[in-house]
Amino acid sequence: MTVAATATKPAPTPTPNRPRRTRNRGFGGGGRDAWLLVLPALIPVLLFSVYPLAQGILLGFTDAKAGLNQVVTFNGVDNYSKLLTNDLFWNSFRIGLIWAFGVTILQFFAALGLALLLNLNLKLRWLARTLALVPWAMPPVIIAIMWRLMLNPTYGPINGTLRALGLPGDTNWLGDFSTALPAVIVVGIWAGMPQTTITLLAGLQNVSADLHEAASIDGANALQRFWHITLPALRPVIVAITTLDLIWNFNSFALVYVLTAGGPGGQTMLPMLFAYNEAFRYGNFGYAAAMGNVMVIIIAAFLFFYLRSQARSRLS
Partner 1 sequence: MTQAIAPAPETRFPEPTDGQKPKGTPSAKRTRAVTRPLQYIALALYIVFLGFPLLFLLITAFKTPQELQSPDPQFLPQQFNFDNFVAAIDKANLIHAAGNSLFVAVLTTVIVTAISLPAAYALARFRTKLRGVATGWILLSQVFPFILIIIPLFLVLKQIGLVNNLFGLVLVYTVWSLPFALWMLQGYVAGVPVELEEAGSMDGASRFRVLRSIVLPLLAPGLVATSLFTFISSWNEFFFALVLIQDPNLQTLPLTLARFVGAEGQVQLGQLAAASLLATIPSLVFFALIQRRLTSGLMSGAVKG
Q: Give the phi and the psi of residue 129 in degrees, each rounded to 5.
A: -65, -45
Q: By CB under 8 A, what part of segment 273-312 binds partner 1? A: 275-276, 279-280, 285, 288-289, 291-293, 295-296, 299-300, 303
Using CB atoms within 10 Å of the CB of residue 311, give its burial: 0 to 12 exposed, 13 to 18 middle, 19+ buried: middle
Site string for partner 1, 228-267 (x = CB under 8 A): xx--xx-xx---x---x--xx-xx-xx--xx---------
Q: Which residue in 97, 98, 106, 117 binds partner 1 (CB under 8 A)?
A: 117
| 14 contributes a contact to partner 1 by CB under 8 A | yes
Cα–Cα distance measured from residue 57 to residue 227, given in angstroms and rounded to the nearest whole number: 44
Distances (CA, A) of 260 to 12, 21, 41, 288: 44, 53, 37, 21
| 30 contributes a contact to partner 1 by CB under 8 A | yes
Q: By CB under 8 A, what part of segment 80-99 binds partner 1? A: none
Between residues 59 and 181, which has the closer beta carbon with respect to partner 1?
59
Q: By CB under 8 A, what part of segment 174-203 binds partner 1? A: 190, 193, 198-199, 202
Q: Which residue in 81, 222, 301, 305 binds partner 1 (CB under 8 A)?
A: 222
Using CB atoms within 10 Å of the CB of residue 106, give its burial: 0 to 12 exposed, 13 to 18 middle, 19+ buried: middle
* Binding residues with partner 1: total (CB under 8 A): 132
Between residues 3 and 98, which has the closer beta carbon with respect to partner 1?
3
Q: Which residue in 83, 103, 132, 184 binds partner 1 (CB under 8 A)?
A: 132
| 34 contributes a contact to partner 1 by CB under 8 A | yes
| 135 contributes a contact to partner 1 by CB under 8 A | yes
| 73 contributes a contact to partner 1 by CB under 8 A | no
Between residues 267 and 293, which has the closer beta carbon with respect to partner 1?
293
| Closest approach of partner 1 to the CB of residue 30, in Å | 5
**Which residues have CB under 8 Å from 263's CB, separation 6+?**
175, 180, 269
Q: Count CB atoms within 10 A of the CB of residue 157.
A: 12
Taking CB under 8 A as the binding criterion, the range among 87-95, 97-105, 125-133, 173-181 that sits at the site for partner 1 is: 125-133
Q: Which residue in 17, 27, 168, 170 binds partner 1 (CB under 8 A)?
A: 27
Between residues 77 and 164, which has the closer beta carbon with respect to partner 1?
164
Between residues 76 and 139, which has the closer beta carbon with respect to partner 1?
139
| 20 contributes a contact to partner 1 by CB under 8 A | no
Q: By CB under 8 A, what part of segment 138-157 binds partner 1? A: 138-142, 144-150, 152, 154-155, 157
Taking CB under 8 A as the binding criterion, the range among 74-82, 100-108, 175-183, 224-232 that sits at the site for partner 1 is: 224-232
